Structure 1
Amino acid sequence: MTEAFVSGVDLGAFVRQVLVEDLGEGGDVTSAATIPADARFDAVMASRDAVTVAGLPMATLFFQALDPEVFVEQLVADGTRVSAGTALMRLSGNARALLSAERSALNSVQHLTGIATMTRAYVDAIAGTGCILLDTRKTLPGLRVLEKYATRMGGAENHRMRLDDGLLIKDNHIAVAGGVATAVRAAKAAGLALPVQVEVDRIDQIEPALAAGADRLLLDNMGPDTLLEAVALVAGRVPTEASGGVRLDTIRAIAESGVTYVSVGRITQSAPAADIGLDYG
């Protein structure tokens, strides 16, 4: 288990909560009714699609929670691209326990691998441009640390993890504050020792934001031509980030505008679960 995977979340508590949700008060009544208490289960977890893997350490925790003696062999590392049919993990242990943990383990790997796989597709689409893909805070409640781990496994970098680890002045902040420059000056005056990023959606907001001391610009919902103009105007004074409605078929043109970063909410919001199964044998 890598430190990056466990940082910022109590995985033990998460595993317990998920298993309680799935097992209820009576436990896995089907396994208990059909399988002898001492029966063994040898199985292989494999991907049925070409994917970028994420979440295998999470699956191990679910199996270990119900069978502390389980033997688990992780066959590939998270972040690895694999072809369809690739074995990801072998395990051997108490049949009732492992079958009871199966759904929770697979749900986790399928979800995180789906995110990593979509992320990798976006990273591949901007390869060679020098632009860096960022994720967003558009994550499922309670799963942010895990989902952002999956985006890293797909090759992205994390943007803010929480509201307290970066100042990002958005359009509603600007509206309430009374303007871009006013909002930026107030943020700088707060003395929080954090870089101030400000969202602009018009070219004429750029110079006021920079003059007020913005450390980074988020260029929101600008097309490639407008981004080219914005990047030329900024002229390398601060990093720039393109955001808003970015799709796989548009990200290359956006990245080629010269922005430093492009952020994509879809990689956590819209990634389909990977087709991964656990089969006896």
Structure 2
Amino acid sequence: MTEPFRPVLLPLMAEEQVRASLLEDLGRAGDITTYATIGPEKRARAALNSREDGVIAGIELARAAFRLVDPSVVFDARVGDGDRVRAGDALIRVEGPARSILSAERVALNYLMHLSGVATYTARFAAEIAHTRARVTCTRKTLPGLRAVEKFAVRLGGGSNHRFGLDDAILIKDNHIAVAGGVAAAIDAARAYAGHLVKIEVEVDNLDQMREALAARPDAILLDNMGPDLLAEAVGINRAHHGLSEADYVATAGRVVLEASGNVNLQTVRAIAETGVDFISTSKITMAATTLDIGLDVDID
């Protein structure tokens, strides 16, 4: 299978995000600690160093933090987004007015540490299921205001993205089904409403609902809170519904995609993937990821 290209975060996309963060941090009077202790003529060189092994994400956001505070700061990235680094590796070197470097430091590090943490944690999930065809995918459970960049970090870690919001795909959940009057009724209504490029997924709690969903032909079925035995049975039902052999099932385009969700963690994800599902969604890769320890160290001559 062709290796996918790394995702790209354009500088223009990073700028608005970082500008709001800098305004939040600089407040009404700017960095008064730095203004009080460092003269405007002082210059500095510094390195942003990783103190842990991990996968890097957020280079363009860090670049934007320094650039927006002071365009004269020289920003030299030694690694790129998606690169794996070891503890002690220098990620970035900056040089310029000391005040500017110190004022931009926290925002740059916040983005780098958080997003690299998401990428690193996602990579751990991806490694657990690398021997299967399943992909780990994120959810809409993201920190407010950070969804786009957290999902960017998930892809850098080897995961895939679920829908970005309520407007780019239809996901019919249990409450929609209850109000709509059943699985088939909800899918039929969704198909009548959606444009031809909008995917339709339906969440089911049991195999009877799954059979009803298959008959209504959604694009994907989310198998919620099912253990490995039920998930394996669901894969078999899907294969039989499409009249496919086990060998053909893997390669067939156009069949209903199966997604597993619920009770997904590093201890359970391997068994879930080995059932034959296509995707495994979990909020853990965005909501439970710890930051990657990265520090800014000023060179002392």
Length-normalised TM-score, structure 1: 0.96
Q: Does 1:221 align with 2:225?
A: yes
Gaps of 5+ in 1: none
Q: Does 1:90 align with 2:108?
A: no
CA distance in 2 between counterparts of 1:191 and 1:153 reads 30
Superimposed CA distance per residue, residues 113-133 of structure 1 (whole angstroms, 9 cap, x where no aligned partner): 010000000000101111111
Letter in 1 for 2:280: V
CA distance in 2 between counterparts of 1:263 and 1:156 reads 10
Whether the aligned pair in 2 keeps the contact of 1:185 and 1:213 (CA below 8 Å) is: no
State the number of aligned residues.
279
Q: Match of 2:8, SS?
A: helix
| Partner in structure 2 of residue 199 of structure 1 | 203
Aligned mate of 1:263, from 281, 292, 299: 281
How far 1:206 moved relative to its partner?
1.2
CA distance in 2 between counterparts of 1:247 and 1:238 reads 25
CA distance in 2 between counterparts of 1:66 and 1:240 reads 47
Q: Match of 1:274, SS?
A: coil
Aligned mate of 1:100, from 95, 98, 103: 103
Taking only aligned residues, the RMSD between alpha carbons, in angstroms, comes to 1.4
Quote the sequence identity (%).
51
How far 1:213 moved relative to its partner?
2.0
Whether the aligned pair in 2 keeps the contact of 1:188 and 1:213 (CA below 8 Å) is: no
Length-normalised TM-score, structure 2: 0.90
Aligned mate of 2:10, from 6, 31, 37: 6
Letter in 1 for 2:81: D
CA distance in 1 between counterparts of 2:17 and 2:194 reads 36
How far 1:185 moved relative to its partner?
1.1
CA distance in 2 between counterparts of 1:160 and 1:65 reads 31
CA distance in 1 between counterparts of 2:194 and 2:16 reads 36
CA distance in 2 between counterparts of 1:213 and 1:188 reads 10
| Partner in structure 1 of residue 181 of structure 2 | 178
Whether the aligned pair in 2 keeps the contact of 1:241 and 1:260 (CA below 8 Å) is: yes
CA distance in 1 between counterparts of 2:290 and 2:49 reads 17
CA distance in 2 between counterparts of 1:100 and 1:233 reads 58
| Partner in structure 1 of residue 68 of structure 2 | 65
Whether the aligned pair in 2 keeps the contact of 1:197 and 1:216 (CA below 8 Å) is: yes
How far 1:163 moved relative to its partner?
1.2
